[in-house]
Amino acid sequence: MSTTAVRALNDKTDAATTSVAPATQVPPKPPFVKGLAGIVAVQTGISSVDGPTSTLLYRGINIHELADRAQYEEVAYLLLYGHLPNEKELGDFRFRLIANRWLPAPTYDLLRRLPHDTVPMEMLRTGVSLLSFYDPEIEDISPESTQRKAIRLIAQLPVLCAAYHRIRSGLEPIAANPRLSHAANTLYMLTGEEPDPDFVAALNAYFVLLADHGMNASTFTARVVASTQADLHSSITAALAALKGPLHGGANEATMLTLLEIDNIDRVDSWVDEAFAHKRIIMGFGHRIYKNMDPRARHLNFWAERLGRKVNQPKYYEMSLKLALSILRHRELYPNVDFYSASMLYYLGIPIDLFTPMFAASRVAGWSAHVIEQYKDNALIRPQSEYIGPQELHYTALSERS
């Protein structure tokens, strides 16, 4: 560019920054809404969350129907492709999931080199990022390619969780069992034993219930990253980082730790009284959207009770019931999805610090569906901020600063 052209461009820039538009042309400031509560940023056909009626729909189907009747593989297909699969479609989808239940050798090397006390969610976030190096379609963000990558990640997340847990326990990872369903194989790879049918049904229901839930923090994070046209693995890695926080996915772990801390049903009331007296946050209660009962909690309540009896350890379920009633003495707060899932996952023998990775193993289907939807009708997500700092300050020389 010539010197004359540069000078002309600078003159135009200076004129633009010094000119003042008439007051009538200054647009009003957009309203500030802390936490974006109530702000609609996305239109979606994936899931519908209705707080006043405590309703959750996946692609128009009520979660109560899916929780009682559907396999997770059907729900993952529904989220990714927009309709329930027929027998041929489901058979093909299952085949592709089974074919991808493995990890590249360098991934196992990484898992063996991690510090013994690595938080599993940090392992999972790093593991998904590492898997991107070995995905043959990593830079292709077409819907078809992203669906294929999503299938690989749905298959691989449980493998990552199980392999890491066994390695840190001094055991060798177990190869997947192609005869088992997604939920059954997840339990098998953790323990090396074919799981009880009730355990499989409970974990399958958990995976179904957690597969998607509107514009929560991790899903919004995934869509923000996808809106830059970054690849699926980048979006899922970012979603995992958001899910790690105790106010999102980590609440299930905190709930179980609360039950273990109380330890005895006779201590529940006094513990709750003290918690309210000291304004302590009690995890597993209340929801940003649901002001009454979380619709997912009903099904998890059922499985927590059933498994508690099955393993002859109903104490934690009974404590959960009393805890819910005790909290109502102080404030109208109801259990959310994390509350009953805590004791249910505990009864399944899943380590407490793997609760949130199990959440992620389910939600990866919903995250992927949202990434695909974002690609199809993309606009860069770029909200405004409102500056509230000082005005008209000036630069001072270093020698003049106190």
Q: In sequence order, which residues have a C-beta less than 8 Å from that of residue 258 and are 6 or more positions away?
A: 282, 283, 284, 323
Instruction: Give the strands of the sheet with 55-58, arranged side by side.
Output: 47-50, 55-58, 61-62
Q: What type of residue is 97?
A: L
| Strand 61-62 to 47-50 pairing | unpaired
* Residue 338 falls in the annotated catalytic set: yes
d(CA 330, CA 272): 9
Q: In sequence order, which residues have a C-beta less than 8 Å from that of residue 218 and are 6 or more positions away?
A: 239, 240, 242, 243, 248, 249, 363, 367
Strands in 210-262 per DSSP E: none
d(CA 371, CA 380): 13
Termini Cα distance of the chain? 44
SS3 62: strand
Which residue in the list 182, 212, 338, 370 is annotated as catalytic?
Answer: 338
Half-sphere exposure of 202 (CA within 13 A, CB side): 27
Task: Answer yes or no: are the C-beta atoms of 124 and 357 closer than 8 Å.
Answer: yes
d(CA 310, CA 315): 12
DSSP 47: E
Closest CA to 373 of 83, 79, 77, 153: 79
Kind and range of the H or E run holding 55: strand 55-58
Which residue in the list 287, 294, 299, 370 is annotated as catalytic?
Answer: 287
Q: Which residues are known to be catalytic?
A: 287, 338
